[in-house]
Chains A and B, each alone.
Chain A
Amino acid sequence: MMNEQDFIAQADRFLNGEMDGAERIDFERYCEENPVAAEQLATHRLFLRQLKHHADRAAFKNTLASVADRYRRPMASTAVERREPVLVALWNRFKINSLVAASVAIVAVFSTLWLSGYYKTIEKTSTNYSALRRDMNTVKKNVNAQNAVIRNINNEKQKGGQSEGHFGATGFIISPNGYVVTNYHVIKDADSVHLQNTKGESFRADVIYIDPTHDLAMLHISDSAFKTLKSAPYTFKETDSDLGEDVYTIGFPRDEVVYGQGYLSSRTGYAGDTTAYQLSIPVNPGNSGGPVIDSRGQVIGIISGKQTGIDGASFAIKTDALLKSMSAIPMDSLESKLLINRKNSLSGLKRTDQIKRIQEYVYLVKVY
């Protein structure tokens, strides 16, 4: 019985085929006689096979990795070539040029359109809404050109040293201590604003609040000549009025106060605007900012514009929007508190008497 170390050494030689014939037979016989040794030999053989397999595989993996590595470079270049047909290559080469050309073309097109006034035309033609401020210079020109009588009046006015305002519109008292409401579009580009009452007295006014979304503006008469009025005869109706409601307005489409009468024809304004009414009432440039009053003397809205090309479609901003806008005025921009009249002194009066009392509270707004 040999020891284990010698046995392994012999087994190695046996498995490697290093033994000669006699030795080999001896070793085989020894294993046959010794089951323990035979088992040991089998294990050893298996173990060595595993070891060898491992080494081979490791070597193979190494070769494979290096082959893969070598393959990478040519493969990458051919792949790029394959994926780029002529068109793509051309596109890549001239991409910058074509992008520059395209942007130049875009700039050229739009600047030409802009310069030629295309967008202004679009704007003009795409909206049928016309704000009703009165362009006094246009009136003057027309007058000068066409109507001799009015030209005379005009000349007289100029002789009187009165300079013409650029625009004219209407406004009315919301609080007797000098607060007046008109349209935002009236005073939009104003240098200064003057208010003239029916008696011909003129006061300077400041814009204290604008609400462009509702087309509203609040003015305050800052003139020392202005004396606080008695409380206004009309009240403000907060709820919506009904279709067919008989309404009238007072405004200044010219330098004299003008009465207009009509009815409420729709609960929504231009293009479905729910903060406005549609009225069937004759209005003209200069009526903007005038009060819309119902038969009981309640203000239900403010004239703001009309739809061109459609007869009898005027629009008025609802009182509700006015009241909301008024409550949104910051307190510190108010000189004194707004006093909203709650007591209506017009109901029951005849229309002519109503107008007499109201007209003192309606102003011609002159914007310079």
Chain B
Amino acid sequence: MSKLNRSVVPDADVKTVDGIALGDAAVLESLYHDYFPMVLNMVIQNSGTEEEAKDIFQEAVIVLYDKIKQGNFELSSKLKTYIYSVCRRLWLKQLGSRERAFQDVNNYEEVIPVEDDLAKHRETEMQLSLMEEALDKLGEPCRTIIHDFYILNLSMQEICQKFGYTSADNAKNQKYKCLQRLKRLFFSTM
């Protein structure tokens, strides 16, 4: 990626990026409003359906989210160009797997290379699916205990009350066992 070029990137885009990082629903909504019609147009003109356009757009937003979450994200182009490029790339791939021809070549929007981002996105996707798998195997109540403690940052007392353990120590023991099991599951599948 080239250096950040302030003049190309509007302030609104920077705000949008921050909103995405926080998972702000309002920002996501405006994202749909601003950019989805363009993607819909591109997909439909290239033998796709509205449903497919929605899937593509959703995946593109997640790609963007991953990229932002990795830190040191710098917009090198307009957000619009970035989203269009990602969607186009994703749609090309899907068409390729279906062996359909793609006639559209940079006709509507500027396109930037996004292959690296997509590769990273796929890697993240894979790792997270491993985590998902491990969590599924872990089962309840372990999954909720881990979630409550590590993600929601609930205290041991609260967890103890929620799950009806006799003492906080018991809950601590339980949490430790759950964590060890999750680690084993996660690293064994890796």
Contacts and interface: CB of A to CB of B under 8 A. Distances in A.
Given A63-B23, A63-B25, A64-B28, A53 B33 contact: no
Contacts of A65: 58
Interface stretch (A44-52, A138-146, A228-236, A313-321): A44-52
B125 to A, nearest CB: 9
B36 A51 contact: no
Contacts of B58: 64-65, 68
Contact of A71 (B36, B62, B172, B176): B36
Given A9-B172, A51-B146, A67 B29 contact: yes
A61 interface: yes
Chain A binding surface, main DSSP class: helix
B127 interface: yes
B183 interface: yes
B179 interface: yes
Nearest to A16: B153
Nearest to B149: A12
Chain B binding surface, main DSSP class: helix
Q: How large is the interface on A (under 10, 10 to 19, 20 to 34, 35 or more residues)?
A: 20 to 34
Interface residues of B, number: 33
A64 B61 CA distance: 8
Contacts of A55: 147, 151
Contacts of B36: 71, 75
Contacts of A245: none
A56 B124 CA distance: 13
Given A51-B131, A55-B147, A71-B32, A9 B176 contact: yes
A47 B183 contact: yes
B4 interface: no
10 contacts: A51-B151, A53-B69, A54-B135, A63-B25, A64-B28, A67-B25, A70-B29, A71-B36, A79-B37, A79-B40
Given A8-B176, A51-B146, 6 more contacts: A54-B132, A60-B23, A63-B25, A67-B32, A70-B29, A71-B33
Shortest Cβ-Cβ A-B pairs, 8 listed: A67-B28, A71-B32, A55-B151, A54-B131, A60-B23, A5-B176, A63-B23, A54-B128
Interface of A: 5, 8-9, 16, 47-48, 50-57, 59-61, 63-68, 70-72, 75, 79
